[in-house]
Structure formats: C-alpha cells, structure tokens
Amino acid sequence: MTADDAQVAVIGGGVVGCAVAHALARRGVSSLVLEAEPGLALAASGTNSGILHTGFDSEPGALETRLILRSAALREQLLEELAAPVWRCGARLTPRDDEQRQAVDRLAENARVNDVEVVLESDGSLVVPGEAVTDPVAFVHALAAAARSGGARFTLSAPVVGLTSAGDDGVSVELRGDERRHVRGVVNCAGLHADDVARMVGEQPASIYPRKGEFLVFAAEEPLREILLALPTALGKGVLVFPTIDGLVIAGPTAREREDKRDWSVEPDANALIRERALRMYPALARAEQIGSYAGLRPAGRGANYVIEPSRALPGLIHVAAIRSTGLSASLGIGEHVAGMLAEHAGIELGPERPLTAARVQPSGHWWTRAALHHGAAR
C-alpha cells in the first residue's frame, strides 16, 4: 500500500456508497469512492421518491427495519451537519372501506412495535408525522461533500473491473486500463450491479434484477402539503402521491419486475396505470398539468433483501446488495453498520466520532430529470 492510497475502496457512488464513505470519514477512516458513471446518484439513488421513511410499516426485527430505525435516530443530528434539503411534511393513509380500515389498524400496531409515532384519526386515517421528503440527488451530494471534507476522495467514470487478494496487504482493486488501487477493505455498493461485482471474486450473494418504478410529475395549482400513502402490497409501498421540496406533485411509483438493467424508459401504459390509482387518492390531480415523467430501477434481490455480509471468497470485501426500496431512508444506518463490519472483518481501525460539515448543497433543480436525461429516457 502506498502512502497515497485510501484504507477503503467503496464501489458505487449512490446513496449507499456515499453514506458508507461519510460514516468512515466521521470515524477518521480514509476512503476512495469509485463510481462507474460520470456523476453521483445517476442510478436508483437519483430516480426514487425522495421520501425519508420512518419504518412505521416495516417488518419488525428485519435488518432493513433495524437500519431504517437507526437512520431515523441519527437523522436529525446528521441532517443538520449535512445541511441537506428536507421537508418534514408527514404522511397520511386514508382507508376507503372496512377491509382497508382493518389493514390500517394492523399498520398502526406495526408502528407501535417499531416504536414509530403514528396517529389514528377519527375518520380512520393513519397519520405518520415523521415521514419527510428530500431532494435525493442533493442528499447524496451532501453526504459526498461532508465525506470529502473528512478526507474521502471520489473518482468518477471509474468502473471497477476486477478484485483480487493482495495477501497481507489487503485487496487489489482493478480499474480500466490496468490501473490498480491497493486498499485494506472494499465495500461493494454497486446497486443493480452488486451481483456482477460479486462474480468478480467467484461468488453471488444475491442475483440482482431491476424492479422498475415509474412516476408522473405535475405542476399543481393547489399545493399538496403531505405525502399520501397507499396500503403496502407484496411488491412495495404502492402508488403514492407526494410533494417535492420545490413545490411539484409526483405520483408513483409502479412496480414492474424487469430484466434489462439498462432500460430506464417510462413504458407507454404507465400513465394510465398511475393516474387511475393516484386520482382516487388525490382528485385535485385531475386539474394539475403533467410536466414530466421518469423511471427508476430498484436493485432487487431474487428471494433476498438487504444482503449485507462479508465475502466468503475475498477477505476484506463486504457486500451491500439488494438495497431495494428503502436505501435512501436507511442509508445513515447502513453506513454506520458497514463501518462496524469493516472494523470486524477488514481490521480497519475506527477513530472517535467527529462531526463533518460541508457547505450547504443547493437543491439540484428538477432532480428527477437528471438521471432520465443521462440514460436518454427523458419524456
């Protein structure tokens, strides 16, 4: 290892990779984030709903839930340090019939088990005051800026193409053009391609496929002041209607099981699919002007979710795969958890916690257009 090298390489500059770099920087550990694309947050992390969930509806005890709840506990202090744009607008789920009322009662009980504050109103609506919206692209850039201020480095357009053991020296990370970096630990935060990275060392912690989610974006005359939730289904949280921090209204996402990891298109029937459900929840949308649409690809694991584990093939490598639908909300908890795993499995010495501040990151304009334009899928 040369003096110039970082202790840890993080593969992937989405919200998970940047949260890991940020958590390491807070503990005085240097990292190098290697991102294949020419910018951060150009995959799932820049094409989601931008909602910071509380975990009220998550399965009690699951790793995903524990990390969302831990993030929620860390959030207020870290958001202040990060100066990321957040609107604590709260969320509401209004049942439409007796069956839904019973489902809402079960969710209220779930929230109680997870120790998340909810209020059941007299009309049967469930209100979740802690749910918030952010600009997810600015959120990732805020994590990256703070990590940078603590010594992390970021290299863009740098796909990792190979990983090999460097014996006692740790891991050798191969980039294009036969360029190499030697590090003590590596974290695989490659989202949709986490399984491709795992295959580089001859293993497959989970097969990852895209679960596509499409959204419609509206300029509404009447501002929406809270997130309107649907009852969760087997495929996720369902179609929601939510405000953005810059005053727009978004309806979505769909949840379609797909195979093509490069297809970021909004499919022709998405409009009808989303509108039908969204209008039931928010009739005022009928009078709003649709100004755009976008699609995101959730990095879903076949039969697996939140696969965070040390590699069995390459000492020093940690996989963080199949962070499918709550990675933005859980990112702060994931970062802290992975830092602990690097200490345990890669001999990384964590220093005392230190606050990291960075200049305020400005909202990124219409953040939802950025990845769509990059992938040639803007509509």
Beta carbon of residue 213, minimum distance to ligand FAD (angstroms, whole number): 2
Contacts (Cβ under 8 Å, ≥6 apart) of 196: 190
Q: What DSSP string describes 287-352? A: GSEEEEEEEEEEEEETTBS-EEEE-SSSTTEEEEE---S-HHHHHHHHHHHHHHHHHHHH-PPP--
Beta carbon of residue 183, minimum distance to ligand FAD (angstroms, whole number): 14
For ligand FAD, the closer CB: 105 or 174: 174
For ligand FAD, the closer CB: 101 or 374: 374
Binding stretches for ligand FAD (CB under 6 A): 11-17, 34-37, 42-45, 47-51, 53, 159-160, 189-193, 197, 213, 253, 296-299, 323-329
Distance CA 148, CA 48 (A): 24
For ligand FAD, the closer CB: 64 or 168: 64
Q: Quick one: tokens of 62?
A: 């699951």
Beta carbon of residue 287, minimum distance to ligand FAD (angstroms, whole number): 25
Beta carbon of residue 160, minimum distance to ligand FAD (angstroms, whole number): 4
Distance CA 242, CA 52 (A): 12
For ligand FAD, the closer CB: 104 or 307: 307
Residue carrying structure tokens 């979710």:
305
Coil/strand/helix, residue 173: strand
User: Which residue type sits at 359?
Assistant: A
Specify the pairing of strand 171-175 against strand 31-34. Answer: unpaired
Beta carbon of residue 47, minimum distance to ligand FAD (angstroms, whole number): 6
For ligand FAD, the closer CB: 66 or 120: 66
Beta carbon of residue 113, minimum distance to ligand FAD (angstroms, whole number): 20
Beta carbon of residue 122, minimum distance to ligand FAD (angstroms, whole number): 28
For ligand FAD, the closer CB: 49 or 369: 49
* C-alpha triplet 204, 258, 233: angle, nearest 5°: 95
Residue 64: φ, ψ to 5°: -55, -45
Distance CA 255, CA 267 (A): 12
For ligand FAD, the closer CB: 99 or 179: 179
